């Protein structure tokens, strides 16, 4: 076993990263830069900035974290030592992970991380900055990262993760200074193996979840374990049948929005409550005596900041839930379109084959394409902060019109 066993279905990327980690172990740090000891520079050589790209679920952050562990581990990522365990758990002193539960990464938090990463490592050979949501960086945050990447400390390594190398995800200037690691959608068989061997899920459930998850390992795990997740998927895939009747169609859209709200509450509700209680205790809730009034005023300000952060987190959770539903719906219409053309490619929802066959037979390819475009337009509308109810109802209207 090694840390690379965490990276599913990416043999080419693993080979590249393993070679770089082995090369990094022989780097000699000098006053005028880092030079490989006893070996010339080559394709597997180490560099100070990496860009991990791939579709959702491909394991961008997992691969980056495994690479960070391999860089810090004396044995190149054994997955058994304290170094590997702390890196993978996100608690290593010299590995700084940046992820946001908000809609964007701000410049203030990026500058704080970059400042820490510019220091000498405390326990390992490298200071590693892992930015999980590089595509969510604000313009000012991107500029801060660019400056750090352009003038790197010889012991600092930047690992950026983004869906693609498109300028909408990562600026051209940052991309040009990073070595790309391109991940692909894992095969369903590889995902099923992980669910069986690592999560102990029975073979039939694992195979089904792997076949309908769209190549997203985390989604496959949720579908295999969570009955509510399976119910939400069924409700979304029932929308194409519901659009035949106006009342049923808009009722289905209301159900989709309610499901997104319920999922958001499930993901954030307990945490929000725990944070409020923790803040109240830290600010001396229930206390008496001198200074209580001043503490209470400070608590009010802290409560407002916490409420603001929680609302941003809820907005992202709600939007992400809706986006997952829309991806499922787009996959359905993609299957209908593919079946209409008679193309021999893997289905997104193989368990809906009979229904897809009927939809392809009863409707035209043109109307299917318009419906697929309506779903994609709804995703784009949500990205531009259109109110979810308005965006979903506009989509349902377009689906009904065909």
Torsion sign across C-alpha atoms 251, 399, 241, 385: negative
The domain locations on the chain are 3-182, 246-282+310-401
CB neighbours (10 Å) of residue 229? 17
- For residue 232, the number of C-alpha atoms closer than 13 Å in the C-beta half-sphere is 24
**CATH number at 246-282+310-401:** 1.20.272
- For residue 198, the number of C-alpha atoms closer than 13 Å in the C-beta half-sphere is 16
Q: What is the structure's pLDDT at 176?
A: 93
Contacts 24+ apart (CB under 8 A), 271-278: 272/310, 272/313, 272/314, 275/306, 275/310, 276/303, 276/306
pTM of the model: 0.79
Q: What is the structure's pLDDT at 271?
A: 76
**CATH number at 3-182:** 3.40.50.300
Q: What is the structure's pLDDT at 249?
A: 81
SS3 90: coil
Does residue 163 contact residue 53 with C-beta atoms inside 8 Å?
yes
Residue among 200, 198, 219 nearest 209 (CA): 219
Distance CA 159, CA 71 (A): 12
What tokens does 196 get? 């069986």
Torsion sign across C-alpha atoms 172, 173, 175, 179: positive
How do residues 11-62 score in pLDDT, each as one tens digit? 999 999 999 999 998 887 765 444 444 444 444 578 999 999 998 888 999 9
Summarize the chain as % helix, strand, coil (round to 5): 60, 10, 30
Each residue's pLDDT, cut to its tens digit, for the chain (402 residues) gives 789 998 998 999 999 999 999 999 888 776 544 444 444 444 457 899 999 999 888 899 999 999 999 999 999 999 999 999 999 999 999 999 988 777 788 888 888 888 888 888 988 889 999 999 899 898 999 999 999 998 888 899 999 999 999 888 899 999 999 999 999 989 999 999 999 998 899 999 999 999 999 888 888 999 999 898 898 888 889 889 888 888 888 888 888 888 888 888 877 877 778 877 777 777 665 555 555 566 666 667 777 877 887 888 888 888 888 998 999 999 999 999 999 999 888 899 999 999 999 999 998 999 999 999 999 999 999 988 899 999 999 999 999 888
Q: What is the structure's pLDDT at 374?
A: 95
Distance CA 74, CA 81 (A): 9
E-state strands within 107-200: 127-131, 156-162, 179-182
């Amino acid at each position: 076993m090694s840390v690379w066993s965490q990276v599913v279905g990416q043999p080419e990327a693993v080979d590249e990263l393993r070679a770089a980690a082995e090369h990094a172990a022989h780097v000699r740090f000098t006053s005028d830069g880092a030079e490989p000891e006893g070996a010339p520079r080559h394709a597997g050589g180490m560099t100070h900035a990496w860009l991990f790209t791939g579709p959702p679920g491909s394991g961008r952050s997992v691969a980056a974290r495994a690479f960070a562990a391999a860089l810090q581990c004396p044995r190149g990522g054994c997955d058994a030592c304290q170094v590997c365990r702390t890196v993978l758990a996100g608690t290593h002193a010299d590995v700084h992970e940046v992820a946001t539960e908000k809609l964007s990464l701000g410049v203030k938090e990026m500058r704080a991380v970059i400042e820490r990463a510019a220091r000498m490592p405390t326990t390992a050979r490298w200071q590693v900055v892992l930015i999980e949501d590089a595509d969510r960086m604000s313009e000012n945050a991107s500029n801060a990262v660019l400056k750090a990447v352009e003038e790197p400390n010889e012991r600092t390594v930047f690992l950026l993760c983004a869906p693609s190398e498109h300028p909408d995800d990562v600026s051209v200037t940052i991309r040009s200074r990073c070595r790309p690691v391109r991940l692909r959608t894992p095969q369903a068989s590889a995902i099923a193996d992980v669910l069986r061997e690592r999560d102990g899920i029975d073979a039939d459930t694992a195979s089904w979840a792997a076949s309908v998850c769209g190549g997203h390992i985390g989604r496959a795990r949720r579908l295999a374990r969570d009955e509510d997740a399976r119910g939400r998927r069924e409700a979304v895939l029932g929308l194409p049948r519901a659009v035949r009747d106006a009342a049923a169609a808009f009722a289905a859209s209301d159900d989709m929005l309610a499901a997104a709200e319920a999922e958001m509450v499930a993901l954030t509700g307990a945490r929000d409550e725990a944070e409020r209680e923790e803040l109240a205790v830290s600010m001396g809730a229930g206390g008496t005596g001198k200074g209580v009034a001043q503490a209470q005023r400070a608590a009010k300000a802290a409560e407002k900041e916490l409420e603001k952060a929680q609302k941003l987190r809820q907005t992202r959770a709600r939007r992400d839930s809706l986006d997952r539903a829309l991806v499922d719906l787009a996959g359905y219409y993609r299957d209908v379109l593919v079946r209409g053309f008679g193309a021999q490619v893997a289905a997104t929802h193989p368990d809906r084959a009979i229904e897809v066959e009927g939809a392809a037979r009863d409707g035209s390819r043109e109307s299917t394409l318009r419906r697929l475009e309506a779903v994609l337009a709804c995703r784009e509308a949500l990205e531009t902060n259109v109110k979810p109810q308005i965006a979903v109802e506009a989509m349902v209207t377009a689906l009904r019109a065909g």
